[in-house]
Each structure stands twice: as structure tokens, then as C-alpha cells.
């Protein structure tokens, strides 16, 4: 029997489930941070939604806490790294609202096609405007799905029933998996030029923010209608306004906005724009599922059983030798995801040295967590990463060797045409990337990295540095590795900011430069 502190309104069915299991459910709503710190001692579990902030002081006060359960998806209000450090499991309910979100997308899709809100508003104001609000059928139209994760896949199933042609952009879904869903994978540019409707289902990251901008909208098929029930900021709202105003885009159905709550926007003045106040998860069923799912996860955690939706893992499960390599492995996975730009059919992970003598499964999970974290809509954890790999058609192959040629320990991952190796160096065990695509380098992992392949001739380093310097970009570290197979070299630079497409294009077009890519760890 455990004491479970509940600080926000949760579906009563979930709370009853906990009570029936013999736990003490202590409901204390609207606590201030100070009141929460006073109430948390003695609680083995804490259940919250989005309002309660689980900070380091709260976790320090929670001497008996085993698990924090978030009845929903987002975890911005939980200090997950500190919870992990304190040995507290964090769980959420990532599947609770996916059906509701998919149905909201379909509702806006139909509203856009048939002008339902506009016709309703006209009729209740006394206007019978049958010809003005003539719509279009979904049958035979092309739907472009941007992001083919759980919600995107549900939208695809429903759109297929309407007789729509399905195309999608998702670099992290294999072509075979898409084919099984009746979807054709295309580039984003191809998708936007062919689609009659677009439905967006992506997370908001630095790579996806502003993804649908003025340049992309200029490539749109005339008459395009855009639906966004994912995250605000994925669409440049000013560019969307201009595109609709100029009739390049027919209209939009928006459930999310760049800044929320949003009650005033130029988009609201356009008659072909349908808007709702972030209602994707606002159904009775979704709220009930969230309460039931989080109750199930908390029960499993308290019982010491396998917890499917744990978003962190007790580092004590890894050996003293392996544990320091977890962050490096995750960084290598992120690097590969950002460099590859698409999901390969196979991911090879090779462990060399002393770490190969231990159980390296946690490191493989870390690699997958980093890889999928760069481009999926759903939360990625150590627990669900293998299922994501299976769902998206990725084969993972591990190999080990207790001897390493040049390093005490080495982790190498290979996917498609790319490979990257990393190790820990020095008395502080600092992470270093030591080989990329066969080029020996040594740079620390970084959020902003530039890879330049060039002719191995004098002046190329200065050329790249000059372009960056003229753009006001600082170089934090740099390594150069010649190729063992030909007269080329690879420059790897870490910089202080994200590089724009213009700067990257200028570098790629410079004399003697073969190609240039950005990557992130």
C-alpha cells in the first residue's frame, strides 16, 4: 500500500483503480509550490497534469517518492534529468489523446472541404448562402501528411476510407512501412506541390520550427488547404496569411498557434480560415484514457514491474563501466539522425573495448532514443525506442569486441552511407567524436555542428572560416581529418548558433568544397 498524492483533476475512473488496488489516494488540488513541498514527504507517487511544477526542490523534499505520473504527454513541467538523478521514475500517457487528435484533424479537414463553420455563421445570422459556400469532395483528392507517427498514421487510415490518395513526408519512416499503410513517401517539396490538402503531425523542434514558410508555400499546388493540429510555430503564420490572401493557398484549419492562448490574429480575418482553441486532446474519452493510463503506469512502477511508458530509467541498472557512455551513445544517435535525414533500413552498433564485456543493451537503447528523438512526433524513451524501431521498419544489429585498436573503449554506429564513432577521454571522461565516415577527427558533441568535405588542398580551412566570420558566427572547436582513400579531407566544426540555409549554401558553393552538412548532437 502506498500514498499517492494527486495535485490536479484526474478522471475518477483512474483514481478508483488506484483505490481498488489498496493505495491511499490523497487529492490536494491547486497547491502552491510551497504547499506542494510541504505535502510531498511520505508520498510514494505523485500524479499531475500540466500545471504542477515538479522542480528540484520538490524532488529533494520527496524522500519516499518512487514515481511521478503525468496524465498526458508533455513533460515540460517536470525536471526529468533531476528526477533520474534522484532515482525517481517519470511516466506519462502518450497514447491517451492520439485518437482524439487524429479525429480533430479530420474534423478540420472536413470543415475546410465543406465550409461548415462559415455556412453555419451565415445561416444563424439570417443569410441563406448556398452558392457562396460551395465546397469540394475529399474523394480522389491528394492528402499530404507531414509526420507519419501515431497520429499521422491514424489520419492516414481515416483519409483512406474517404478515397483520398495519400502521400507523406517523414524521413524517419521506411518506404516499406509507408507502403503497408497505403502511403507514398515523397520529399517535402514534392508533397506540397502535389497535395490538395496537407495535415501536419510533427513535434516542434529547432529543425521543424517555421518548416512551412513563405518559400515552401510558394511551391504549393494552387488551391491547397492546410490543417495543423500538431504544434504552433510549425507554420509561419504571416506567410500563411499572405499565401491565403493572394489565393495561392485556399484556406487553413488551425487548432494550434505560435503563441497561445491566441485570441487575435490576422488569420482570423480571412473567411477561409477555420480555427479552434487547441482542442486536439479535449474529449471526454481522451481525458478518461489519460487518467486510466497513468493509474496503470503508477501501479506498475509501485509494484516494481515493467513500465511501458517510463520516460527515464534508473541509471543503476547499468554497470559502472557502461553508465558513463549513456549520454555519448544518445549523442551519437542524434548525430546520425540529423546527418542521415532519413531512416535507413538497418542500424549497426559496434562496441569495442572494456564496455563490450558488460551488458550494453542500455547503450543501444540510448542510441535509438537519440536517433528517433530527432524526428518523431511521440515522446521517445528507453522503454519505447525498440517498439518505434520495429514500427518504423528499422533493423538494429549489435556487435561487440573486447579489444579496441586505438581506444580503450569505442562506440561506432553505421546507417546508410554514414558512420560515426565516439569515446570518452581524459580524467573527466569527456565525450569525443573521433571518426566520421572514415575520417579521423576529435571534436566534442555539440548542438550545432558543421561538416565540410573538401579537396585536400591548402586554403580550405581559411575559406570556410572567412565565410563564418563574415556572418558573425564563432567557431568553438574544429578538427580536420584526411581521407585514407583519396585526396579529400573532412572538416568538423562546432559553432555558436544554428547555420542558415544561405550560409550553408555559400559554403557548399565555394571552390574546392565537395559538400557541406549540418548536424546536431
Side-chain-side CA neighbours of 219 within 13 Å: the count stands at 12
Q: Which of 176, 260, 317, 430 is catalytic?
A: 260
* Interval 118-128: pLDDT, tens: 999 999 999 99
Residue 35: per-residue pLDDT:
97
Whether 410 and 421 have beta carbons less than 8 Å apart is answered as yes
Residue 378: per-residue pLDDT:
60
261 burial (CB, 10 Å; 0-12 / 13-18 / 19+) is exposed
Strands 475-482 and 488-495: antiparallel
CA–CA distance, 199 with 181 (Å, rounded to integer) = 16
Banded model confidence at residue 95, pLDDT cuts 50, 70, 90: confident
Q: Where are the domains of the chain?
A: 3-94+285-312, 98-275, 319-436, 445-521
Domain 98-275: give its CATH code.
Answer: 3.40.50.720
Does 260 participate in catalysis according to the annotation?
A: yes
pLDDT at 315 over 50: no
Residue 97: per-residue pLDDT:
87
User: Domain 319-436: which CATH class?
Assistant: alpha beta
pLDDT at 520 over 70: yes
CA-CA-CA-CA torsion sign (294, 299, 301, 302): positive
Banded model confidence at residue 316, pLDDT cuts 50, 70, 90: very low
* Interval 427-470: pLDDT, tens: 889 999 999 998 999 999 999 999 999 998 899 999 999 999 99
pLDDT at 384 over 70: no
Residue with more model confidence, 94 or 55: 55
Superfamily for domain range 445-521? ACT domain (3.30.70.260)
Side-chain-side CA neighbours of 469 within 13 Å: the count stands at 6
* Interval 399-438: pLDDT, tens: 999 887 889 999 999 998 899 999 999 888 999 999 999 8
Share of the chain above pLDDT 70, in %: 97
Q: Which of 231, 418, 432, 453 is catalytic?
A: 231
CA–CA distance, 495 with 446 (Å, rounded to integer) = 8
Banded model confidence at residue 68, pLDDT cuts 50, 70, 90: very high
pLDDT at 322 over 70: yes
User: Region 214-237: what's the mean pLDDT?
Assistant: 95
| Average pLDDT of every residue of the chain | 91
Residue 381: per-residue pLDDT:
66
Banded model confidence at residue 340, pLDDT cuts 50, 70, 90: confident
Adjacency order of strands within the sheet including 513-519:
475-482, 488-495, 449-455, 513-519
Does 432 participate in catalysis according to the annotation?
A: no
User: Domain 3-94+285-312: which CATH class?
Assistant: alpha beta
pLDDT at 494 over 70: yes
* Interval 174-206: pLDDT, tens: 888 899 999 999 999 999 999 999 999 987 777
- C-alpha cell, 453: 568535405
Residue 176: per-residue pLDDT:
85
Does 278 participate in catalysis according to the annotation?
A: yes
pLDDT at 32 over 90: yes
380 burial (CB, 10 Å; 0-12 / 13-18 / 19+) is buried
pLDDT at 394 over 80: yes
* Interval 253-312: pLDDT, tens: 999 999 888 999 999 999 999 999 999 988 999 989 999 999 999 999 898 777 878 888
Q: Which of 70, 150, 225, 278 is catalytic?
A: 278
CA–CA distance, 412 with 394 (Å, rounded to integer) = 17
Indicate if 98-275 has the same CATH topology as 3-94+285-312. Answer: yes
Amino acid at each position: 500500500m502506498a500514498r499517492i498524492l494527486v495535485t490536479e483533476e484526474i478522471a475518477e475512473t483512474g483514481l478508483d483503480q488506484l483505490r481498488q488496488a489498496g493505495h491511499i489516494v490523497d487529492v490536494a488540488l491547486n497547491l502552491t509550490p510551497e504547499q506542494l513541498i510541504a505535502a510531498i514527504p511520505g508520498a510514494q507517487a505523485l500524479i499531475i497534469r500540466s500545471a504542477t511544477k515538479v522542480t528540484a526542490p520538490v524532488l529533494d523534499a520527496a524522500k519516499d517518492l518512487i514515481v511521478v505520473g503525468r496524465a498526458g504527454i508533455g513533460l515540460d513541467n517536470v525536471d526529468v534529468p533531476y528526477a533520474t538523478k534522484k532515482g525517481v521514475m517519470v511516466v506519462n500517457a502518450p497514447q491517451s489523446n492520439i485518437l482524439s487528435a487524429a479525429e480533430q484533424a479530420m474534423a478540420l479537414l472536413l470543415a475546410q472541404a465543406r465550409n461548415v463553420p462559415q455556412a453555419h455563421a451565415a445561416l444563424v445570422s439570417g443569410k441563406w448562402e448556398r452558392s457562396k459556400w460551395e465546397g469540394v469532395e475529399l474523394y480522389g483528392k491528394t492528402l499530404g501528411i507531414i509526420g507519419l507517427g501515431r497520429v499521422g498514421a491514424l489520419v492516414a487510415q481515416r483519409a483512406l476510407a474517404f478515397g483520398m490518395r495519400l502521400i507523406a513526408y517523414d524521413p524517419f519512416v521506411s518506404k516499406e512501412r509507408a507502403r503497408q499503410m497505403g502511403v507514398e513517401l515523397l520529399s517535402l517539396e514534392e508533397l506540397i506541390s502535389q497535395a490538395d490538402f496537407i495535415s501536419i503531425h510533427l513535434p516542434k523542434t529547432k529543425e521543424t520550427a517555421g518548416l512551412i514558410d513563405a518559400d515552401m508555400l510558394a511551391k504549393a499546388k494552387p488551391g491547397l488547404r492546410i490543417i495543423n493540429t500538431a504544434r504552433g510555430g510549425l507554420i509561419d503564420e504571416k506567410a500563411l496569411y499572405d499565401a491565403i490572401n493572394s489565393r495561392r493557398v485556399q484556406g487553413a484549419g488551425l487548432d494550434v498557434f505560435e503563441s497561445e492562448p491566441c485570441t487575435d490574429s490576422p488569420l482570423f480575418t480571412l473567411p477561409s480560415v477555420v480555427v479552434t482553441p487547441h482542442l486536439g486532446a479535449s474529449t471526454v474519452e481522451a481525458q478518461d484514457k489519460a487518467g486510466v493510463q497513468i493509474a496503470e503506469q503508477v501501479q506498475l512502477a509501485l509494484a516494481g514491474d515493467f513500465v511501458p511508458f517510463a520516460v527515464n530509467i534508473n541509471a543503476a541498472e547499468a554497470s559502472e563501466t557502461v553508465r558513463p557512455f549513456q549520454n555519448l551513445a544518445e549523442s551519437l544517435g542524434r548525430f546520425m539522425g540529423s546527418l542521415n535525414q532519413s531512416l535507413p533500413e538497418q542500424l549497426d552498433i559496434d562496441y569495442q573495448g572494456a564496455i563490450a564485456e558488460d551488458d550494453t543493451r542500455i547503450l543501444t537503447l540510448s542510441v535509438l532514443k537519440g536517433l528517433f528523438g530527432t524526428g518523431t512526433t511521440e515522446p521517445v524513451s528507453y522503454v519505447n525506442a525498440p517498439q518505434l524501431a520495429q514500427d518504423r521498419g528499422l533493423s538494429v544489429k549489435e556487435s561487440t569486441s573486447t579489444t579496441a585498436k586505438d581506444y580503450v573503449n569505442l562506440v561506432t554506429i553505421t546507417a546508410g552511407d554514414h558512420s560515426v564513432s565516439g569515446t570518452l577521454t581524459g580524467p573527466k571522461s569527456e565525450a569525443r567524436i573521433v571518426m566520421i565516415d572514415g575520417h579521423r577527427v576529435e571534436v566534442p558533441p555539440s548542438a550545432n555542428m558543421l561538416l565540410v568535405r573538401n579537396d585536400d588542398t591548402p586554403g580550405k580551412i581559411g575559406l570556410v572560416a572567412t565565410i563564418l566570420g563574415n556572418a558573425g558566427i564563432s567557431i568553438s572547436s574544429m578538427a580536420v581529418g584526411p581521407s585514407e582513400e583519396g585526396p579529400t579531407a573532412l572538416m568538423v566544426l562546432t559553432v555558436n548558433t544554428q547555420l542558415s540555409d544561405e550560409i550553408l549554401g555559400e559554403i557548399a558553393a565555394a571552390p574546392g568544397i565537395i559538400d557541406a552538412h549540418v548536424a546536431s548532437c
